[in-house]
Amino acid sequence: MSRATFFEVEVLDAKTRKQICFLDKVEPYSTIADIKSLVHKSYPQWYPARQALKLDPKAKALRDEEVLQSLPVGTTATMYFRDLGPQLGWTMVFLAEYMGPLFTYLMFYFRLPFIYPHRYAFTSSPLTVTTLACACHTGHYMKRLVETIFVHRFSHGTMPLRTIVRNCVYYWGFSAWLAYYINHPLYTPPYYGDLQINSACALFVLCEVGNFSIHLTLNSLKGEGTKVRNFPTPTRNPFTWLFFFVSCPNYTYEVGAWLGFSIMTQCLPGKNASYCVPRHGNVSSNTIPPCIPHCHH
C-alpha cells in the first residue's frame, strides 16, 4: 500500500521575507483557497478575501481554484503573502457606488442651500427638460440598484476598500458635476427645442431597456454557485440581437444612453466651458459663474 504524499507550505511576507506560518501535512489536492483558510486559522484578521498568495513576490497572485500539486513547486512549497487590506463584497460595492449619484443629483435638482445663490434655495427649474433629465438620471440609477439586488449574480470576489472610495468619488463627483450645470438657474434649453429633447430622450429610454435586457440574458448564462458561464447568444428579444455585432452589448447600450442624455440636455461636463456665456438673456459679467451650464462657441 502506497504512502500518501503531503506537502509542506511555508508562507513568507512578500515585503520582509519573514516567515508568517508553516503549514505541515497539506493535502496535494488542496487549492489556494484551502491554503488561505489555513492561514486564516492562524491569523483571524486576515480572512481569505484579504489575502494574496504568490510563488514570487513580483509575480501575479495565484487564483483560488489552482491546485497545489499542479503548481511548479516541490513537496515543500514557498509562497509569498500580501495583505490586500479591508475588503467589501461586490453587492455592497455597487450599492455604495450607485446610491451616491442618486441622492447627489436630487440635491441639485431641489437646489438645497449653499449649492446655488441663496435666493434659489429649495426651488426647481421651470424647464421641462430639467425635470425630464432628473427623471432619466434617477431612473438609470434606480435600475442599477434593482439589477444589483435582483439581477446580477456575484461570485465570492471582493474589492479593496481603498478602491471603493476612489470609485465612489468618481461616480458621486461626476453626478454632482453633471447636476450642477443642468439644474443651474442660468441653464437654457437645447438649441433645437422639443425635437432634440424628445428624440434624445427616446434614445436614452431605448438604450436603458436594451441594457437591462442584456443583463437579464447574461444572468441566465451563469448557474448558481459556479463561475462557469456559457457563451451569450441572441434570443427572441430584439435588444439582444446586438450580440451579432459586439461581444458586450450592455456597454454599447450604456454609451448610447449617456449619449442620448447629453444630447437631450445639451450638456457635456467634459467640455471646457470656462469661456461660455448664456445663449439667452442679458446677464452682466459680474453675475456670470465661472462655468455657465451650457453654451455655444
* CA-closest candidate to residue 129, choices 151, 101, 102, 109: 109
Is 278 inside a domain boundary?
no
- The gap from C-alpha 173 to its chain's centroid, in whole angstroms, comes to 14
Q: Are residues 81 and 105 in the same domain?
A: no
* Cα–Cα distance list, 65 to 71, 75, 100, 283 (Å): 12, 19, 35, 65
CA dist 179 and 140 (Å) reads 14
Q: The C-alpha cell of 219 is what?
A: 444572468
DSSP of 43-101, one letter per residue? -TTS-GGGEEEESSTTSPPPPTT-BGGGSS--SEEEEEEEE--SEEEHHHHHHHHHHHH
Average pLDDT over residues 6-24: 95
Q: Are residues 209 and 95 in the same domain?
A: yes
Is 285 inside a domain boundary?
no
- DSSP character for 120? G
Q: Are residues 128 and 181 in the same domain?
A: yes
- The answer, yes or no, to whether residue 242 has pLDDT greater than 90, is yes
* Residue type at 119 in one-letter notation: R
- The answer, yes or no, to whether residue 286 has pLDDT greater than 60, is no
pLDDT band at 51 (very low <50, low <70, confident <90, very high): very high
- The answer, yes or no, to whether residue 11 has pLDDT greater than 70, is yes
pLDDT band at 226 (very low <50, low <70, confident <90, very high): low
Please give the pLDDT value at position 72. Answer: 93
Please give the pLDDT value at position 62. Answer: 95
CATH number at residue 68: 3.10.20.90
Per residue in 55-81, pLDDT (tens digit) is: 999 999 999 999 999 999 988 999 999
CA dist 111 and 17 (Å) reads 56
Q: Are residues 139 and 195 in the same domain?
A: yes
Is 2 inside a domain boundary?
no
User: In percent, how much of the chain has pLDDT > 70?
Assistant: 86
**Total tally of structural domains belonging to the chain:** 2
CA dist 87 and 90 (Å) reads 10
Mean pLDDT of the chain: 86
Range of the domain at 251: 88-265
Helix or strand holding residue 145 (H, E): helix 128-146
